Amino acid sequence: MKHRSSNHAARVTLVALALLFAIPLVWLLLSSFKSQEELVAEPYRLLPREWRFENYRDAVQAMPYLRYLRNSLVLCLGSVTGTLCSCTLAAYAFARLRWPGRDVLFAVLIGTMLLPWHVTMIPRFLLLRELGLYNSLAALIVPTFLAEAFYVFLLRQFFLAIPEELSEAARIDGGSEWAIFTRVILPLSRPALATVALFQFVAAWNDFSGPLLYLSDPDRFPLAYGLEQFVSAYSSQTALLLAAAVLFTLPIVVLFFLAQRTFVEGFRTSGLKG
């Protein structure tokens, strides 16, 4: 009897918490269809009195949305390509090859994950500016071709779990390391590659500090940064801001539902195997 009542209390708490977590998202979505007057007068009202789908059209027209979107996609696809190319190579060297200095360098790799970005921020900025990359999306894409420690670590853990016999068999058949890498390891690592691609896509889509530092020409802004420009300029038009925020969030949420397993597994492995 006592058991059942405590179960009941737990269930009620869970539902109450779930409501608290859901309310901001529900209100974001529904309020984005309200008129500005209604939003100010009765923000607590759930459904709009009048559904203003025009908010979305107005939001897209108020800023160069399509240009921002194009920049975002260039940034995302470019940096996913860079990350996949460079990180798989480094992870292969750390997981499947024997070479002097490997273990020391691996410790260095782990160490770089602890380094706050502020320490490297200024020299990095000046270096990339010196290379003529300032005010170009390339400033944000080129570094991804030089590998990111976290993804190298993630992929290494995955590569380590692939049986060594598979590589040995390929070596006996006269396969080069490159052939083993491309024909044995990579095809077996699709889940890990998907995780890394997904994480990097989302990271690039969301990246705010990168564009803030490196881009000055509004024509080159990706959505995350373009949207922020819109915050102070349109602070009196909350409904439009919310509509723009929905448009910006939606692709990530859709991606999340399409790849929920990859997302959650990715968080789990990145958290647990530390």
Residues 89-108 that bind another protein (CB under 8 A): 89-90, 92-94, 97-100, 102, 105, 108
> Which are the contacts of 68, defined by CB distance < 8 A and separation ≥ 6?
221, 222, 223, 226, 227
Binds another protein by CB under 8 A, chosen from 47, 104, 116, 190: 116
Class of residue 103 by CB neighbours under 10 A (exposed 0-12, middle 13-18, buried 19+): exposed
Q: Return the number of the residue (65 or 205) whose C-beta is nearest another protein.
A: 205
Q: By CB under 8 A, tell whether 181 contacts another protein.
A: yes
Of the ranges 5-13, 52-60, 161-169, 184-192, which one interacts with another protein (CB under 8 A)?
Answer: 5-13
What is the spatial distance between Cα 224 and Cα 251, in angstroms, rounded to a whole number?
13
Going by C-alpha positions, the residue among 251, 153, 137, 249 that lies closest to residue 195 is 153
Tell me the residue type at 4. R
Q: By CB under 8 A, tell whether 38 contacts another protein.
A: no
What is the spatial distance between Cα 197 and Cα 70, in angstroms, rounded to a whole number?
19
Q: And the tokens for 127?
A: 């270096």
Q: Return the number of the residue (22 or 166) whose C-beta is nearest another protein.
A: 22
Contact 20, 26 (CB under 8 A): no
Please, what is the minimum distance in Å from the beta carbon of residue 134 to another protein?
Answer: 12
Of the ranges 52-60, 81-89, 160-168, 186-194, which one interacts with another protein (CB under 8 A)?
Answer: 81-89
By CB under 8 A, the count of residues binding another protein is 88
Please, what is the minimum distance in Å from the beta carbon of residue 115 to another protein?
Answer: 7
Please, what is the minimum distance in Å from the beta carbon of residue 198 to another protein?
Answer: 11
Binds another protein by CB under 8 A, chosen from 80, 84, 133, 147: 147
Of residues 225 through 244, those in contact with another protein by CB under 8 A are 227-228, 231-232, 238, 241-242, 244
Q: By CB under 8 A, tell whether 146 contacts another protein.
A: yes
Q: And the tokens for 238?
A: 């909350």
Please, what is the minimum distance in Å from the beta carbon of residue 44 to another protein?
Answer: 5
Binds another protein by CB under 8 A, chosen from 69, 162, 194, 213: 213
Q: By CB under 8 A, tell whether 224 contacts another protein.
A: yes
Q: By CB under 8 A, tell whether 87 contacts another protein.
A: yes
Block residue for tokens 């009195």:
49
> Which are the contacts of 220, defined by CB distance < 8 A and separation ≥ 6?
71, 135, 136, 137
Q: By CB under 8 A, tell whether 179 contacts another protein.
A: no
Q: By CB under 8 A, tell whether 13 contacts another protein.
A: yes
Contact 206, 3 (CB under 8 A): no
Alpha carbons within 13 A on the beta-carbon side of 15? 5
Q: Is 209 helix (H, G, I), strand (E, B) or coil?
A: helix
Contact 171, 180 (CB under 8 A): yes
Q: By CB under 8 A, tell whether 177 contacts another protein.
A: yes
